[in-house]
Chains A and B, each alone.
Chain A
């Protein structure tokens, strides 16, 4: 599907959505028509990923979060938002495997932008994003390991409860309030969760090194490294289980 309105008109629509106290019905209808075009581009990307053996899930940004983003990141234009349409691929893999999957995806769309949030995490968020442009629409493919995804899902839940700004480095609503029966405040919990992302990164790097140097290590070295990795991931899984149970996540 071609875009329903020109690029310049899309950006003007973005300005009106950003500035309006109450969004006009006509503007909402234009946004919906635009999202239908993005939906087609997203479906094409998902099919391409599926035919290459990946199992993506997809989502289009909601109208509310689009308007929030236009306001939060002003003067960003509607046309330049990369994640109006998003596909997510989560699978167990090492960091080297993640690189290989990234390269495989880029080979499908050689002009795609690549943003590696493992090298430059965004307030603890780590993943690899490959962003092709299909029929004039950016589609953000988020490639995550299981631990990167688990971390991101809990962060989303914290943001739901304590304010969306938590995702962008802001203080939670009621920063000094205590959580559950713990002595920690919300502010400390958020800081602790960002630190957990660094622990995940360190463990993923250790696991990656194991894969790289497997053949050049002695049995003793390998056993020690495996014990270290097992212990680290064991503690991490226990923490994740605790947090998931606390927030009712599956």
Chain B
């Protein structure tokens, strides 16, 4: 299984994702999207725009649980 790349926009102060997770085949495409979003969020110190790579999202929830604190709520809504 190939690596997938997930773009996450996380609000540190609120402790939750503020945008749906976008998924990319290539790290370069994901990084390009990250740089654009970082630019848009400039000046908002609470917002973290990050690209995580994994075989699937479940793997990320195990190794980077912090980002998915509110993911359950998003999935359920």
Closest A residue by C-beta to B44? A64
Say how far B44's CB is from chain A's closest CB, in angstroms.
Answer: 10
What residues of A have a CB within 8 angstroms of the CB of B49 in the complex?
62
User: Is B63 an interface position by the 8 A CB rule?
Assistant: yes
- Assess whether A57 is interfacial by the CB under 8 Å rule: yes
Specify which chain A residues have a CB less than 8 angstroms from the CB of B70 in the assembled complex: 248
Q: In the complex, which residues 207-227 of chain A have their Cβ closer than 8 Å to any Cβ of chain B?
A: none
State in angstroms the CA–CA spacing of A16 and B64 once bound together. Answer: 31
A160-B28 contact given A55-B59, A57-B54, A64-B48, CB 8 Å threshold:
no
Taking a contact as CB atoms closer than 8 A, the residue among B15, B35, B52, B63 that contacts A157 in the complex is B15
A62-B48, A62-B49, A250-B72 as given contacts; A57 in contact with B15, CB under 8 Å? no
Whole-angstrom CA separation of A144 from B67 in the bound complex: 18
> Would you give the shortest CB distance from B9 to chain A, in whole angstroms?
11
- Interface residue from A62, A157, A244 paired with B50 (Cβ < 8 Å): A62
Q: Is A202 an interface residue (CB 8 A)?
A: no
A35-43, A128-136, A178-186: which one contacts chain B? A35-43
**B12 at interface by CB-CB < 8 Å:** yes
A160 → B minimal CB distance (Å): 4
- Residues A58 and B52 in contact, CB atoms below 8 Å apart: yes
A250 touches B65 (CB 8 A): yes
Q: Given A160-B13, A248-B69, check contact A88 B28 (CB 8 Å).
A: no
Q: Which of B3, B13, B35, B66 contacts A58 (CB 8 A)?
A: B3
Please tell me which one of the listed residues A28, A39, A153 contacts residue B28 in the complex, with CB atoms under 8 A apart.
Answer: A39
Chain A residues with CB under 8 Å of B27's CB are: 39, 42-43
- B47: nearest residue on chain A (CB-CB)? A64
Residues of A137-176 at the interface with B, using a CB-CB cut-off of 8 Å, are 149-150, 153, 156-157, 160-161
Residues of chain B lying within 8 A (CB to CB) of residue A12: none
CB distance from B65 to the nearest CB of A (A): 4
Known: A247-B15, A250-B68. A60 touches B59 (CB 8 A): no
Shortest CB–CB separation between residue B27 and chain A, in angstroms?
5
Q: How far is the CB of A65 from chain B (nearest CB, A)?
A: 8
Chain B positions within 8 Å of A65 at CB level: 48
A6–B54 Cα gap in the complex (Å)?
31
Q: Using Cβ atoms and an 8 Å threshold, which residues of chain A touch B55?
A: 55
Please pick, from A35, A160, A249, the residue contacting B65 in the complex, using a CB distance under 8 A: A249
Q: CB within 8 A of A90: which of B13, B63, B73?
A: B63
Q: Does B38 contact A (CB under 8 A)?
A: yes
Residues of A within 8 A of B65 (CB): 150, 153, 244, 249-250
Q: Which of B16, B35, B45, B64 contacts A64 (CB 8 A)?
A: B45
CB A244 to nearest CB in B, in angstroms, measures 8
A residues with a Cβ closer than 8 A to B are 28, 32, 35-36, 39, 42-43, 46-47, 50, 55, 57-60, 62-65, 88, 90, 149-150, 153, 156-157, 160-161, 244, 247-250
